[in-house]
Structure 1
């Protein structure tokens, strides 16, 4: 009986696809568009962008200093698909090791 309950619960969780991790490439910045694995493109209507992915400048002594750059065309990003598959979180920008 316990095995049947375990199998049923695992099947239910698996069929809902709670989270998926995907890679994408930024193809447009304004408006934002990300191509996912060369299969489909996501527009900004489907994307949630964390603050760490936005440009941040400070004005120090009359001069703008770039603290953090925003997303740029060609950036590879790590995406998390929310349950249900309609919304994607841009988690981080991926870099190549040097």
Structure 2
């Protein structure tokens, strides 16, 4: 076997052994604490997940009161306004396994299909 073939084979083996990045699908099974079941094979808890801000719940308190010289209109928008729902149980997510396989980045929710 030629030296170049041996080097190629060793390089390919090193890449396989290091668990290179992989894209997977998962389903959110629980939100507090977050759990995602991957390809119906194993479940990841929040210790193994990196969730970007855009996939977290975001709500704003816009409660306010208008007062004029003649009257008080009372409070408006008494409930918080939800800007982003965040992840919910049943959502399908696209996951990116970080090299080494210890952490998974939740890239986005999958819609349709």
TM bracket, shorter-chain basis:
0.7 to 0.9
Work out the CA distance in 2 between the residues paired with 1:23 and 1:8: 30
Residue 14 of structure 1 and its aligned partner are, at CA, apart by: 3.5
1:24 aligns with 2:26: yes
1:66 to 77, 82, 85: 82
87-96 vs 54-63, which moves further: 54-63
1:47-86 aligned within 5 A? 47-62=49-64, 63=77, 64-86=80-102
> If the length of structure 2 is used for normalisation, what is the TM-score?
0.74
2:37 equivalent in structure 1: 35
Residue 83 of structure 1 and its aligned partner are, at CA, apart by: 1.1
Residue 39 of structure 1 and its aligned partner are, at CA, apart by: 0.4
1:96 aligns with 2:98: no
Q: Which runs of 5+ in 2 are unaligned?
A: 65-76
The number of residues matched between the two structures is 97
Work out the CA distance in 1 between the residues paired with 2:50 and 2:107: 9
> If the length of structure 1 is used for normalisation, what is the TM-score?
0.83
